[in-house]
């Protein structure tokens, strides 16, 4: 190359070919499918494994806990050791988790499989590193959008195929078939993707902080299960609370003292950021409760509070909500620029509260639940995306990554805690005669979620109006 030194020529990144781009996109699709098969099949898994709703909620939450921990770390690992190398390592873990889940004879093994699968969350930032390295700026921006769209599309596919696969084969194949697709596409990506050069960095990776956050979240979820089971004496329940509090305090202490923390808690000292995190947590907790309760009510016996719907039909009824959640991501960003994040969140929480009040009063037809799932998914998705977009443009450029990564972690934790609370309420109000949750459990769950959504408006009042474009 004329005008370039030999070293510059050698160090220039190799451009990504179309086969590499296609393989990366198909991998995102396969990962999204594997991630989404649990939601419509959760009532089936509870029946097959003979576990309570609170224990069933752990199946989805085990994945989320790992994702919350891996998300902030994966990008740093990719920058330090190379995105292609780290992506291949993470995919090996995902495949191991998928195989464990597909062969799981009981709940503990399935939970371990879900924990391992959760590292797939780190595949997105690693994919962005590879795209950014091996494509020109214009094409890399477009490809990042394609990867995100295909991962979301995989979620739609997973929701739709979980039921037919479990009916035609067994629930084990819901995990086995997407895992096979991940195995093949990950091998193709590893084969075709050019190497990317590691970026030297003096920043240490906060392994202790990641471990403590994971332990805190896991202890909290398990604590909700054992406390709501009613089998623990009061002193033992208090002991669980002490353990969770001690782990949380240790994590906060480590993060404050770390030179390169996993999560910069100093962001919480800013009122604008504190409100954004609080709102994100509340909104996603409501979404997590609703996302858990509605499939459970679909599957509950028709002679009781539910409709006795099969896993296939549950997937079809949930599909519009999954699509609405995907669409809301783009709408939330646009609406935040046009009207400000405060207006978007206020509208979303009003719609959510009104929808859930109506659902607590009337839930006699399956379509009512499906429509409610669409409204809540769209409102929550638009609200959290508006907060994310507003935060990214409010903080200093150097703080964008830190601020948004903490919002992503908050979002994941909120969904996990909301789902676990929903499972705990159903377990606490289980009919001793039928062994199924009573109608009052679902009514209480929807009413509680509606109340939380309404109370979030108090936080909104303390938030400055978002800046309009």
Q: How confident is the model at residue 467 (pLDDT cuts 50, 70, 90)?
A: very low
How far is the C-alpha of 74 from the C-alpha of 79, rounded, in Å?
9
Instruction: For residue range 290-332, list pLDDT tens digits in order.
Output: 988 999 899 888 877 888 888 888 989 988 988 888 788 777 7
- Which pLDDT belongs to residue 351? 92
Contacts of 358 (CB under 8 A, 6+ apart): 372
Q: Which two tokens stand for residue 469?
A: 């474009």
Residue with tokens 């990641």: 210
Q: Where do the H-state alpha helices sit in 229-270?
A: 234-257
Mean pLDDT, all residues of the chain: 79
Helix (H, G, I), strand (E, B) or coil at 452: helix
Contacts of 330 (CB under 8 A, 6+ apart): 385
Q: Are the C-beta atoms of 422 and 441 separated by less than 8 Å?
A: no
How far is the C-alpha of 180 from the C-alpha of 24, rounded, in Å?
15
Mean pLDDT over residues 182-194, rounded?
Answer: 83
Query: What CATH number does domain 264-469 carry, 2.60.40.10, 1.10.3260.10, 1.20.1250.20, 3.20.20.150?
Result: 1.20.1250.20
Q: Are the C-beta atoms of 176 and 98 separated by less than 8 Å?
A: yes
Whether residue 140 is predicted with pLDDT greater than 70 in this model: the reply is: no
- Give the single-character DSSP code of 14: P
- For 134-138, 172-176, 295-299, 361-365, which range has the lowest pLDDT when averaged over its residues? 134-138
Angstrom CA distances, 190 to 18, 43, 45, 74, 195, stand at 14, 36, 33, 17, 9
- For 4-18, 202-216, 231-245, 310-324, which range has the lowest pLDDT when averaged over its residues? 4-18
How far is the C-alpha of 201 from the C-alpha of 198, rounded, in Å?
9
- Which pLDDT belongs to residue 376? 92
Q: How confident is the model at residue 159 (pLDDT cuts 50, 70, 90)?
A: confident
Q: Are the C-beta atoms of 371 and 319 separated by less than 8 Å?
A: no
How far is the C-alpha of 117 from the C-alpha of 56, rounded, in Å?
17
**Helix 83-103 vs helix 123-134: angle between axes, to the nearest 10 degrees?**
150
- Which pLDDT belongs to residue 354? 94
- Give the single-character DSSP code of 399: G
- For 116-130, 152-166, 239-253, which range has the lowest pLDDT when averaged over its residues? 116-130
How far is the C-alpha of 279 from the C-alpha of 456, rounded, in Å?
7
Say which residue, 143 or 431, is predicted with more confidence.
431
Quickly count: other Cβ atoms within 10 Å of residue 273's Cβ.
Answer: 20
* Domain 14-197 of CATH type 1.20.1250.20: yes
Could you tell me the pTM of the whole model? 0.78
Helix (H, G, I), strand (E, B) or coil at 430: strand
Q: Can you say whether the dihedral through the CA atoms of 238, 241, 247, 248 is positive or negative? A: negative
Q: Which two tokens stand for residue 133?
A: 């390295």
Q: Are the C-beta atoms of 320 and 326 separated by less than 8 Å?
A: no
Whether residue 136 is predicted with pLDDT greater than 70 in this model: the reply is: no
Q: Measure the CA angle with vertex 289, ends 242 and 250; round to 5°.
A: 25
Mean pLDDT over residues 104-132, rounded?
Answer: 81
């Amino acid at each position: 190359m004329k005008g370039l030194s030999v070293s510059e020529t050698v160090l220039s990144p190799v451009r990504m070919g179309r086969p590499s781009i296609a393989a990366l996109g198909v991998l995102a699709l396969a990962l999204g499918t594997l991630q989404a098969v649990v939601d419509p099949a959760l009532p089936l898994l509870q029946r097959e494994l003979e576990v309570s709703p609170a224990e069933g909620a752990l199946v989805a939450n085990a994945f989320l806990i790992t994702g919350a921990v891996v998300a902030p770390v994966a990008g740093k690992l990719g920058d330090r050791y190379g995105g292609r190398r780290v992506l291949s390592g993470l995919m090996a873990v995902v495949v191991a988790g998928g195989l464990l889940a597909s062969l799981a004879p009981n709940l503990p093994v399935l939970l371990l499989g879900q924990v391992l699968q959760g590292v797939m969350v780190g595949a997105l930032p690693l994919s962005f590193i590879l795209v950014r390295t091996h494509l020109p700026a214009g094409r890399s921006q477009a490809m990042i959008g394609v990867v995100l769209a295909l991962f979301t599309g995989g979620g739609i596919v997973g929701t739709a195929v979980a039921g037919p696969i479990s009916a035609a084969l067994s629930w084990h194949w819901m995990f086995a078939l997407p895992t096979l697709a991940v195995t093949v596409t990950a091998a193709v990506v590893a084969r075709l993707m050019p190497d990317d050069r590691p970026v030297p960095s003096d920043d240490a990776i906060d392994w202790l902080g990641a471990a403590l956050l994971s332990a805190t979240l896991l202890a909290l979820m398990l604590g909700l299960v054992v406390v709501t089971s009613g089998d623990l004496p009061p002193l033992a329940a208090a002991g669980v609370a002490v353990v969770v509090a001690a782990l949380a305090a240790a994590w906060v202490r480590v993060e404050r003292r770390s030179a390169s923390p996993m999560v910069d808690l100093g962001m919480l000292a800013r009122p604008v950021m504190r409100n954004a995190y609080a709102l994100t947590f509340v909104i996603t907790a409501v979404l997590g409760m609703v996302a858990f309760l509605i499939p459970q009510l679909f599957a509950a016996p028709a002679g009781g509070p539910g409709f006795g719907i099969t896993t296939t039909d549950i997937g079809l009824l949930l599909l519009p909500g999954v699509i609405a959640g995907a669409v809301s991501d783009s709408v939330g960003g646009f609406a935040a620029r046009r009207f400000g994040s405060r207006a978007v969140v206020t509208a979303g929480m009003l719609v959510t509260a009104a929808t859930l009040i109506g659902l607590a009063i009337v839930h006699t037809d399956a379509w009512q639940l499906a429509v409610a799932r669409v409204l809540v998914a769209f409102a929550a998705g638009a609200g959290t995306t508006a907060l994310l977009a507003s935060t990214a443009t409010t903080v200093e450029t150097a703080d964008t990554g830190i601020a948004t990564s903490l919002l992503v972690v908050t979002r994941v934790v909120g969904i996990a805690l909301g789902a676990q609370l929903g499972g705990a309420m159903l377990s606490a109000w289980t009919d001793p005669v039928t062994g199924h949750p009573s109608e009052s459990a679902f009514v209480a769950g929807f009413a509680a979620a509606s109340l939380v959504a309404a109370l979030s408006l108090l936080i909104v009042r303390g938030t400055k109006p978002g800046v309009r474009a």
